[in-house]
């Protein structure tokens, strides 16, 4: 069975979906990504879906599941590259994708992950470095 590559970039994992997703591939991605988050103690997950022209309800729920699992494993998830037609379809299907943050592209998505990690890294009452 095909697998989707999962790359490590610092504290984050990068998943670029370059093929049409079918249900078994989506389930394999969920399992592989969950294991990889634990293996490398990832703090962020960036999923690039820019190559997907169609996202059905199962794939949408799988993305939401991945985000919820990642959150339980102490990692944030950002989905990038969503095409307008995909966004419209998800809304029409009534899928809100709880826990899934989105950004227009991978650069903005990685910046979002870094910002979220920086914000979480600060203890309550602690000031940012250089703040006076």
Q: How far apart are CA 60 and CA 76, in angstroms?
A: 17
For residue 79, what are the β-bridge partners? 47, 102
pTM of the model: 0.86
- pLDDT (tens, 9 = 90+) of the chain, 132 residues, equals 588 999 999 999 999 998 888 889 999 999 999 999 999 999 999 999 999 888 888 888 898 899 999 999 999 999 999 999 988 988 888 887 777 899 999 999 999 999 998 887 744 444 444 443
């Amino acid at each position: 069975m095909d697998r989707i590559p999962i790359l490590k970039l610092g504290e984050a994992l990068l998943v670029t979906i370059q093929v049409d997703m079918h249900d078994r591939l989506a389930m394999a991605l969920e399992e592989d990504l969950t294991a990889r988050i634990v293996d490398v103690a990832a703090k962020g997950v960036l999923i690039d879906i820019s190559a997907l022209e169609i996202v059905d309800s199962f794939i949408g729920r799988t993305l939401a599941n991945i985000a919820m699992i990642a959150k339980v494993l102490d990692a944030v998830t950002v989905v990038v590259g969503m095409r307008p037609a995909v966004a419209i379809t998800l809304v029409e299907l009534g899928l809100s994708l709880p826990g899934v943050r989105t950004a227009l592209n991978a650069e903005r998505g990685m910046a979002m992950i870094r910002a979220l990690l920086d914000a979480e890294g600060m203890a309550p009452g602690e000031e940012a470095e250089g703040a006076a």
